[in-house]
Amino acid sequence: MPPLTRRRALTAGAAVAATAGLPAPSASGHSREHGHSHGHTHDLDHDHDHDHGAPEAFDEVYLGRRIQGRPLAGGHHHGGGYGVFIDGVELHVMRNADGSWISVVSHYDPVPSPRAAARAAVVELRGAPLVTLT
Amino acid sequence: MTVRKNQATLTADEKRRLVAALVELKRNGRYDAFVTTHNAFIMGDTDTGARTGHRSPSFLPWHRRFLIEFERALQSVDSSVALPYWDWTADRSPRSSLWAPDFLGGTGRSLDGRVLDGPFAASTGNWPLTVRVDGRTYLRRSLGGGGRDLPTRAEVDSVLAMSTYDMAPWNSASDGFRNHLEGWRGVNLHNRVHVWVGGQMATGVSPNDPVFWLHHAYVDKLWAEWQRRHPGSGYLPTGGTPDVVDLKEPMRPWNDVRPADLLDHRAYYTFDTD
């Protein structure tokens, strides 16, 4: 797990306002494939994963919050070995048999990709910090 | 004998007693243990691994037992209380009496989804959310906010017409009655109702909203209706299925009950329509 960030102590309103410059949950290395901010809310991504293989990593600022996804090894993850983070805190995600994805904050509403699950979570959270997975 | 009634038919006194029992379970900590259990299963049940509470044939008997346990907890507070059910095909508006201030309270305000009226509003001090996936401690809803309507009776009937209980691969990709009722495939019944309510009901900690129990009591009733329509169809699979609870296998977390023990609800309660 990433270390506790200052972000998690902020109030919801402050979290919306303060966006950039947070440390990545991973040490370093993976490229920021789509590092620019997306102000739109398209949920039909151009990075739909398919039934074969793990989806690619992503890293962007969406509605003022940093969302990241990357393949992980082992652990308690049920997203086919894929981890998603919002402002550095892991969001529990899960891959369905048909290749769609859900997260613990939107658990009954499948979306096409882990990036779409992360964006849906940002919308649902309305600035609130995630609780660290236990 | 416990009789589960349609929530729309409850008297003012029945509503008052149910609410009081819910608040007492919340106060003494027993309520939150149910939320914790549900979230543990919803995060642990996977299509490609062990699956018990969701996305599997045991979705229905698991929730039947879960509701029986919860109803017994309520009855330990007030023995007159039974779980009512919410027929969301009939009471399908945020203006339904279900959401009135004397029962569950209404939808959340647009700013932050916070429920402002009824006995479970955060301002009462009686309903703090302690089992959470995010920092918000207040009950939230967005009734109908997702833009999709609740299922219709015709959609329910189309699912009740499916004569096979469940099918391989016994998960969210399955054809058959169970998965169509659960909603991962087809017209989407159970899952869509969680999404329609919004707030915590759309998350893994959905039992934080008391409507969880009324929703699942109706899903449970639909299982009973299906059995009546298809007396020759039984629970499947019946043996030797990896990661899946077969008919006569014990079910976690109780380990003292099998789907076979839960097929006939009349051993535990009846419905007002039985």
- 3-state SS of B182-226? HCCCCCCCHHHHHHHHCHHHHCCCHHHCCHHHHHHHHHHHHHHHH
**What pLDDT, in 10s, does the model give residues B139-163?**
999 999 988 899 999 999 999 999 9
CB contact under 8 A, B134 and A98: no
Q: What is the pLDDT of residue A78?
A: 55
Number of structural domains in chain B: 1
> What is the H or E stretch that residue A17 is in?
helix A12-17
Q: Which of these, B196, B201, B190, lies nearest to B223 by C-alpha position?
A: B190
**CB distance A83 to A59 below 8 Å:** no
**A85 in helix, strand or coil?**
strand
Query: Residue B34: inside a domain, yes or no?
Result: yes
Tokens of B156: 């329910």
Mean pLDDT, rounded, for A83-97: 96
Query: How many whole angstroms separate alpha carbon B107 and alpha carbon B201?
Result: 12
Query: Residue B111: inside a domain, yes or no?
Result: no
The nearest CA of chain A is from the CA of B42 a distance in Å of: 8
Is any Cβ of chain B less than 8 angstroms from the Cβ of A132? no
No. of helices (H) and no. of strands (E), chain B? 7, 2
Q: What is the pLDDT of residue B146?
A: 81
Q: What is the pLDDT of residue B148?
A: 86
- What size, in residues, is chain B? 274
Query: Residue B187: inside a domain, yes or no?
Result: yes
Q: What is the pLDDT of residue A74?
A: 60
Cis peptide before B253 (omega within 30 of 0): yes
Beta bridge partners of B192: none
Is any Cβ of chain A less than 8 angstroms from the Cβ of B267? no
* Residue B30 identity (one-letter amino acid): R
| Confidence label for A134 from pLDDT (cuts 50, 70 and 90) | low
Is any Cβ of chain B less than 8 angstroms from the Cβ of A104? yes
Query: Residue B138: inside a domain, yes or no?
Result: no
Mean pLDDT, rounded, for B167-181: 98
Q: What is the pLDDT of residue A75?
A: 52
**CB distance B25 to B73 below 8 Å:** yes
User: Is residue B132 pLDDT above 70, yes or no?
Assistant: yes
User: Is residue B248 pLDDT above 60, yes or no?
Assistant: yes
Q: What is the pLDDT of residue A29?
A: 33
Query: Residue B62: inside a domain, yes or no?
Result: yes
Q: What is the pLDDT of residue A54?
A: 81
| Confidence label for A132 from pLDDT (cuts 50, 70 and 90) | confident
Residue-averaged pLDDT of chain A = 70
Query: Residue B133: inside a domain, yes or no?
Result: no
**What pLDDT, in 10s, does the model give residues B15-70?**
999 999 999 999 999 999 999 999 999 999 999 999 999 999 999 999 999 999 99
**What pLDDT, in 10s, does the model give residues B102-123?**
999 999 999 999 999 999 999 9
CB contact under 8 A, B191 and A97: no
For A8, counting Cβ atoms within 10 Å of its Cβ (0-12 exposed, 13-18 middle, 19+ buried), the class is: middle
User: Is residue A76 pLDDT above 90, yes or no?
Assistant: no
**What pLDDT, in 10s, does the model give residues B205-235?**
999 999 999 999 999 999 999 999 999 999 9
Query: Residue B102: inside a domain, yes or no?
Result: no
- DSSP string computed for B48-94: TS--SSSSSTTHHHHHHHHHHHHHHHHHHH-TT----B--TTTS-ST
Residue of A nearest to B44 (CA): A78
**CB distance B141 to B209 below 8 Å:** yes
Global ipTM: 0.94
User: Is residue A18 pLDDT above 90, yes or no?
Assistant: no
Which residue out of B51, B134, B139 would a mutagenesis test of the A interface target, given it has the greatest number of A Cβ atoms within 10 Å? B134
CB contact under 8 A, A104 and B133: yes
Mean pLDDT, rounded, for B232-241: 97
Lowest mean pLDDT segment, chosen from A27-31, B12-16, B215-219, B248-252: A27-31
Is any Cβ of chain B less than 8 angstroms from the Cβ of A51? no
Query: Residue B123: inside a domain, yes or no?
Result: no
Q: Euclidean distance between the first and final Cα of chain A, in Å?
A: 10
Residue-averaged pLDDT of chain B = 97
- Eight-state DSSP code of residue A3: P
| CATH number for B256 | 1.10.1280.10
**What pLDDT, in 10s, does the model give residues A1-12?**
333 333 333 333
**A103 in helix, strand or coil?**
strand
* Residue B265 identity (one-letter amino acid): H
Q: What is the pLDDT of residue B147?
A: 83
Range of the domain at B246: 2-85+151-196+209-271
Q: Which of these, B34, B135, B39, lies nearest to A132 by C-alpha position?
A: B135
No. of helices (H) and no. of strands (E), chain A? 2, 7
**CB distance B150 to B193 below 8 Å:** yes
Q: What is the pLDDT of residue A25?
A: 37
